[in-house]
Chain A
Amino acid sequence: MTTDRSKRNKLFLEKKLEEKIERRTFLKGLATGLGLALFSPEKTANALSFDEFWQKHYKELTPEDKKRIFERIEKQTLERHHTEVKISDHRPMDGVEFVYCLNLSKCNGNRKCVEACQKENNTDRSFSYIKVLEMENGGFNLEKGTTHYLGPVPKEGKFYLPVQCNQCDNPPCVKACPVAATWKEKDGIVVIDYDWCIGCRYCQAACPYEARHFNFRTPEIPENEINPDQGYLSNRIRPRGVVEKCTFCLHRTRVGKLPACLEACPTGARKFGNILDPESDVAKIIKNERVFVLKEELNTLPRFYYFFS
């Protein structure tokens, strides 16, 4: 712990010194004309740089662009959150399509998944990608459910329905986005380029599962809880004014790990895997159990299945 802190202090000091120099360079640049400032080799890391303003869409970035951008984000995270992080960019694997299955007979509403998700994904602590609805036995009307339940769980006469991004195969949010800042990847995960999103929130209106969150404020994350393993398209700390959502923890799952919510679940209700692999848990569940999806009539073709078993 102590070494950690001294290391952080040292970095912070170094950063402050660096910042001073940069600011001076920037002012000088401004004085010698905007053009010079914008194209000068020593660019400022503060405010919105030329590079950030004109940053291209993720799909148009070259490997060199990515390297430069990731370095910049790492540097900014160090400055703003005093934490050393690593930005990764794991691409979908061939022959893999992810699917989530959730056993509603097992889920008891303990919300460990919610907590784990917040920490894993560096989200503002005022919300979570996962909403757990406490539902009345005897019906499936979502309007009768509530996310604001308190006290020990499970309660008599209730069952619990966790809802997160369904990673639809026919995603209404992707169709809605006017600037194509969100798209479906080969392994079925719907991602967002946070640096391309204009923050119009049309995708939020389009989503039938309330999966999307808009950063009305700069995300507030306790500094000692920042997860340093960050994916560019998933859990890196989001800027203010953009939309975010669950990405099936792609920075974990694309390297063979399980999503954080699944690992945190003490009941074993959650199953995750590759639907193209007939030996996987999810393939067996879909084959053998009576599974269903939420709001099937909307034809969004979710990759998130529920079952009672």
Chain B
Amino acid sequence: MKNYLIYWQRMVACSLKGSVWYRLWLLFLTAFVLWGAFNYYHHLKYGLITTNMSDAVSWGIGIANFVFFVGIAATAVILVFPAYIFKREDLKSVVIIGELLAFIAIMMCLLFIFTDIGHPERFWHLLPVIGRLNIPNSLLAWDVIVFNVYLVLNLHIPGYLLYQKYRGKPAKKIFYLPLTWISIFFAISIHTVTAFLLVGLGARYFWNTSILAPRFLISAFASGPALLIIIFLVLSHFTTLKIQSSIIDYLRKVMMVTLPVNLFLFLCEFFKEIYPNTLHAASAQYLFFGLDGHNMLTKWIWSAVFMNCVATVLILIPKWSKQNKILIACCVLTIVGIWIEKGMGLIFPGFIPTPLGEIVEYSPNLGEIAVSLGVTALGALIFTLMTKAAVWVLTDKLAHNVPPQ
């Protein structure tokens, strides 16, 4: 127990040390966290009236970001699956980073929800036994369960592996391998349940479509690897952690499949909504072409489509995508494109027009943007600290028999 506390103490100390640039990066993130916290305090003090949400558009940028980051959380499976099922040793060396990313993304998702609800102090109503979770009826209740299980799994698995590495002892398979397999199932579950949460609303024709869950997963398996590629390239540039080129190559190949499939599924959805031209397609009409002169989202969605198309072309030509600079550009386009398509391009139009046909547009105000940025910055901050410590443990710079520097 005492050793474990020392291990934590050393990890924390290690994660706070670093070059001037590293510390500036931490400071930069902390500033955004504080800005977000200040704005969240306003939400608490005056109520959600401080946001631009309304009875018509009752979910805003918080839920949009939530949906996007669920995808990022599900991505860990892209590394876990081949590492443990196909026993790819190169991936095994970095799978911990993927699991930490999943943990952070889930934490961010929970924070996006927490900062969005009217009575956060009543969170305990969601707890088993003392609360009253509406199982099996409510998809949101299911979401709470799968999220928390996935959160714990992704905290335990990398935590255990890192500690064993620190102690210089081999990790016992029984303590992590079965849980890893379970986590594969839950990675798929979190995104499926989140999609079902929207699909299950018969009143919202825009979401009530069976293609939503597959679209969610495919877009997650495009934006997730894109983010992982960027993270790995950054790590190999700034740290001594060796990222084998086969890993980047593997992620690039995943994107070569998922990016075109993502576009194809988008096309399927687009056709189904627009061609029959029924009244149920009003939300899609609004999103893609505008409705009755209201077209706040059209420029966003078409720029997202454009970005996804460019990214697809870039990734499909190996001569280009094998160059790191082009690959990074492609990854950034993928992340931004999918963030728009899946966040504001999916959540906002679901509410427009309202079930009684009224059109109320929504765009977040500065306070809402600040809270969302704050949550994102907090995620990035904790991820940076955890990854720093993890990299030191993985590269044997931080171990029980290495004295503190």
Residues of A whose CB lies within 8 Å of any CB of B are: 48, 53, 57, 127, 131, 133, 141-147, 163, 172, 174-181, 196-202, 204-210, 212-218, 240-242, 295, 298-300
Contact = CB atoms under 8 A, between A and B. Distances in A.
Given A177-B134, A210-B55, A198 B122 contact: yes
Query: Looking at chain B, what size class is its interface with the partner chain?
Result: 35 or more
A242 B120 CA distance: 11
Given A145-B356, A216-B47, A218-B47, A53 B59 contact: no
Nearest to A195: B122
A128 to B, nearest CB: 11
Interface string B43-86: 00011110101111011000000000000000000000000000
Q: Which 6 A-B pairs have the closest CB atoms?
A: A199-B118, A241-B118, A143-B357, A208-B203, A178-B140, A217-B49
B134 A217 contact: no
B342 interface: no
Nearest to A174: B137
Which of B51, B140, B144 has the most C-beta atoms of chain A within 10 angstroms of its own C-beta?
B140
B58 A207 contact: no
Contacts of A197: 118-119, 122
A179 B125 contact: yes
B357 A196 contact: no
B14 to A, nearest CB: 36
A293 B182 CA distance: 46
Contact of B59 (A57, A145, A178, A201): A201
Contacts of B350: 205
20 contacts: A57-B132, A133-B356, A133-B357, A143-B357, A147-B358, A176-B139, A176-B140, A176-B201, A177-B134, A177-B140, A178-B126, A178-B133, A178-B143, A179-B125, A201-B58, A201-B118, A205-B58, A217-B47, A242-B119, A299-B202
A213 B132 CA distance: 23
A224 to B, nearest CB: 24
B351 A205 contact: yes
Interface in B163-206: 197, 200-204
Contacts of A213: 55
A196 B125 contact: yes
Nearest to A204: B58
A135 to B, nearest CB: 10
Nearest to B208: A298
